[in-house]
Amino acid sequence: MVNGSEPEPLRESRFSCTRPSTSQGMGESAGDGDLSLTMNLYSKARLSFVMQHAKEVARQRRVRIEDLQSLDLLHYSGMSAVKSFVEEQSKSWLSFPMRLLDVGAGIGGPARFLASHFDLAVITAVEYIPEQARVLSELNELCLLTDRINVVCADFLEIEFHAEKHGLLVSQLSFLHMANKSLLFKKCNESLNESGSMFVEDFYA
Ligand SMILES: C[S@@+](CC[C@H](N)C(=O)[O-])C[C@H]1O[C@@H](n2cnc3c(N)ncnc32)[C@H](O)[C@@H]1O
């Protein structure tokens, strides 16, 4: 799938990881620049806290995505931006996208929202940090969403998109971590089909 000689479809695996586990945050992605300084806010303590909360709910009943939304959104404006985007934009779509891509998926809040909104779609959630990707995957299991969300732990800038194209790319507060913007937008273009759309929420200068 990533760095391999044979391209594999992204959706074949529910959880795949090509990166070693690290407690140091991020290393250097293909986007140039050492990102470890900017990414240390993803502490193990925070991840444990979220998992503990989710497991407590799971002891009583099935975990709903709403149970997690105060904890699993690692961006500033909560769900309102992506929610208004999909609700407004989808009015003009002739058909709903069946394959969605979340770039820099964190622990999966946006991906799980997309899975609940587009109830037939499969979402590929790409996340760089192994610990985040693992929590993303475990929360999907508790929400019974493993069939709908494939977790790929990899540097988005290194993924080869061959036949695997997507109808919608979503990314919240992740593009700023990828310094090589021309490579980033090349990858976005490669990952989308001919009528694909992008929703990106981020800082820019
Ligand atoms: C601020 S968080 C946002 C997470 C998620 N989009 C959300 O809104 O909850 C940014 C995420 O982007 C991921 N990220 C940064 N660079 C990446 C890359 N090159 N490939 C994949 N993920 C990346 C980080 O590991 C981090 O989890």
pTM, rounded to two decimals: 0.84
Summarised one tens digit per residue, pLDDT across range 112-166 is 999 998 888 999 999 999 999 999 999 999 999 999 999 999 999 999 998 889 9
Is residue 136 in some structural domain?
yes
pLDDT the model gives residue 41: 59
pLDDT band at 31 (very low <50, low <70, confident <90, very high): low
Which residue range(s) make up the domain with 192?
10-22+42-201
Q: Which atom of ligand 1 is nearest to the CA of 30?
A: 19
Give how many domains the chain has, as a whole number.
Answer: 1
Q: What is the DSSP string of 54-111?
A: HHHHHHHSPPPHHHHTTTS--SSSTTHHHHHHHHHHGGG-SS--SEEEEES-TTSHHH
pLDDT the model gives residue 43: 84
Summarised one tens digit per residue, pLDDT across range 140-150 is 999 999 999 99
Is residue 34 in some structural domain?
no
Q: Could you tell me the strand order of the sheet in which 192-201 lies?
A: 15-17, 149-153, 122-127, 99-103, 166-172, 192-201
pLDDT the model gives residue 25: 45
pLDDT the model gives residue 74: 84
Is residue 28 in some structural domain?
no
Mean pLDDT of the region 75-88:
81
Is residue 161 in some structural domain?
yes
d(CA 35, CA 31): 9
pLDDT above 90 as % of the chain = 56
Is residue 3 in some structural domain?
no
126 lines ligand 1 (CB under 6 A): yes
Is residue 27 in some structural domain?
no
**CA dihedral (150, 27, 2, 194) positive or negative:** positive
Is residue 37 in some structural domain?
no
Is residue 35 in some structural domain?
no
pLDDT the model gives residue 29: 58
pLDDT the model gives residue 163: 83
pLDDT the model gives residue 28: 52
Q: Which of 124, 128, 129, 131 to mutate to test the pocket of ligand 1 (most atoms within 8 A of CB)?
A: 128
Residue 24 Cα to ligand 1 midpoint, Å, equals 15
Residue 70 Cα to ligand 1 midpoint, Å, equals 18
Mean pLDDT of the region 172-189:
95
Residue 129's CATH number: 3.40.50.150
108 lines ligand 1 (CB under 6 A): no
